[in-house]
Chain A
Amino acid sequence: MLFKDYDPLKKKRLSILDEKGKIVNKELEPDIDKKTLLNMYKTMALGRIADTKALQYQRQGRMLTYAPNKGQEAAQVGAAAAMQEQDWFVPAFRELNAMLYRGVTLEQIYLYWYGNEWGSHFDEGVKVLPINIIIGSQINHASGVAYASKILKKNEVAVASIGDGGTSHGEFYEGLNFASSFDLPLVVMIQNNQYAISTPRKKATKAETLAQKAVAFGIPGMQVDGNDILAMYVAMKESIEYARSGKGPVLIEAYTYRLGPHTTSDDPTLYREDKEVEMWEKRDPMIRFKKYLIDKGYWSEKEDKALEAEQTKFVGETFKKVEQSGTEDLLDIFQYTYKEMTPQLKEQYETHKKFLEEGGK
């Protein structure tokens, strides 16, 4: 039983695939079919390119603030791949790869960071909630989703994501405590990328690991190598099934690293050393997963090159579409505050429309 072996008080971290792409925990290697494995890899690869390009676009003044995901691909895709179709993903904000894997389109994601409200409108059937900026509050939303699933007997698990910094927030505790007291089908994944903007994880709490916080909720918890996609998949799979079986929530700490800045407005050289970044670059989740796939005979450098070219083109075309969408129109801005505009709002809309039509700015 994983939860027993990796009891958070035992100071162990689950890992299966090491930095060289070798299996170090043979009995835990998951049996994932080739198609799924490749889908996981391709999502990570797309995420990496989309991320790099988003940063470039932002530097060119074509994109707004953007929160990069580089380095966290395995944690995100490992978690998403372990979910079943009917499950819900409830994100924080640094979730590009998990969102892509769960069916949110790159166009929608880019629209969001482009500053257009339609970027939070996902296609029918995509069970992903919009990006949540207010730190920690998504844990309560996810717990609520799980409550509804339980009493309506929907067999859906809610998977919520939060940063290491977010675990300082009241709602992290309130939400998990609520879910644990009702045995709700909720899995919370902490993406411990070591920093909350400039504040290192060690300054945010004295707890030795964030996984340990599970103990106080009376639920299982586990620390996992977040750059090891197989370990993430296995840990999340077990947690999600545990939650689905009615035993209550689980807390997973994905131990990972944000290779880029916090957002495009941030300068990480002010608060972290190059040496540290270089060390983590060697642990790049993409490199080790690719090696694993190549060793298995599922992938080749040649295919990788072709994929990169194809995805780069796709990302460029997607962004162009987003750019061409330009700005929203006035009605769009007014009509979603309520189901129906209130009389006051309607008057404000009409007055402003007239003002603009008559040449006002």
Chain B
Amino acid sequence: MAVVNLLTAINQALDQKLADDPSVVVYGEDAGYEGGVFRVTAGLQKKYGVDRVFDTPIAEAAITGNAVGMAINGLRPIAELQFDGFVFPGYTEIVTHMARYRNRTRGKHGLPIVVRFPVGGGIRALEHHSESIETLLGHIPGLKVVFPSTPYDAKGLMISAIEDPDPVIFMEPKRIYRSGKQEVPEEMYRIPIGKAKVVQEGSDITVVAWGAMMREAEKAIKLLENENISVELIDLRTINPIDEETIIESVKKTGRFLVVQEAVKTYGPGAELISLVNEKAFLYLEAAPTRVTGFDITVPLAKGEMFHFVQPERIADQIKKVARF
């Protein structure tokens, strides 16, 4: 088994699905010849030709809107948007059409589309290159939203996303594109969309995170090594649909619940997850469920970025508070 990073794992998934299914096409700004600004699609155009892997003009509404038409007419488009902040010029097509076509046509036109893009901060980038926007997509009925944290999951989830009959938003935590390698099987395998993963079992508190925040949560747990707190850590993996079962089962066991999210606080996924726990496991709770989040500010440029970050120390501090309540 090859040991690869998250970026390469996604490249493998795209490569294998392009080979496996002639209706798959991959495209975006600079995604063809150069293989995208992060090189996630590197080598694919050479292998599959310019009709199936191609560069587009800089026009995100055209990128997302064309996916709608392609999918209606028999293709399985995988569209790349260059950065999280550039989703918005294409957002109108995603929200007003991509998410609604199945419902609008009473099931006649389901849209098997993947929209993928790098997400989140931590690479000292320019404005609009560091936002965590899962709330804004997870909130839209008709979209599935995936957010992996490891190379293994990224490959398996990408293959599932491409095969999914509905539009899937696939968020790639750019901060960990290249850091952290893992054994990833050569062959195609699938990880179901909507299934969280218990990464570490524990009995005192349930901590849920996803994407790059998994690494920070893991670091926080290390900081607490001598504190005698047994943490159950769950990787959410899919923002929508939420794997309620795994979370609720865990909270029933631990009685305590903490969400770690990079996104700004107000109306973020943490609010949703905490509501869920209140609705479905209220009687098992021994402390108020809570969250560690980014602040309600415009994501600062690099010189102030660390103030917005959810650092391991903040997570550890909060874990202690909830566990010792």
Contacts and interface: CB of A to CB of B under 8 A. Distances in A.
Contacts of A1: none
Given A64-B302, A327-B306, A349-B295, 9 more contacts: A116-B301, A117-B300, A169-B59, A198-B33, A204-B57, A333-B304, A337-B297, A342-B296, A345-B297
B141 to A, nearest CB: 25
B314 interface: yes
B128 to A, nearest CB: 5
B125 A166 contact: no
A197 B37 contact: yes
A342 B266 CA distance: 12
A355 B314 contact: yes
A283 B301 CA distance: 36
20 contacts: A64-B302, A65-B124, A115-B301, A116-B303, A117-B301, A134-B89, A136-B58, A169-B58, A169-B89, A170-B62, A171-B89, A197-B34, A198-B34, A199-B33, A204-B58, A328-B303, A330-B307, A333-B297, A334-B297, A349-B295
A110 to B, nearest CB: 12
B58 A165 contact: yes
Contact of A134 (B37, B85, B301, B312): B85
A326 to B, nearest CB: 7
Contacts of A330: 307
A134 B86 contact: yes
B245 interface: no
Given A169-B58, A197-B29, A361-B311, A64 B296 contact: no
B102 interface: no
A92 to B, nearest CB: 11
A166 B313 contact: no
Given A333-B308, A348-B265, A348-B296, A205 B57 contact: yes
Contacts of B302: 64, 114-115
A265 interface: yes
A122 to B, nearest CB: 16
Contact of B303 (A114, A171, A348): A114
A270 interface: yes
A181 interface: no
The winner among B55, B88, B308, B314 for most chain A CB atoms within 10 A is: B55
Most buried by A among B125, B301, B313: B301
Given A134-B85, A198-B33, A361-B311, A344 B266 contact: yes
B304 A117 contact: yes
Q: Which one of A136, A205, A349, A361 has the highest number of Cβ atoms from chain B below 10 Å of its Cβ?
A: A361
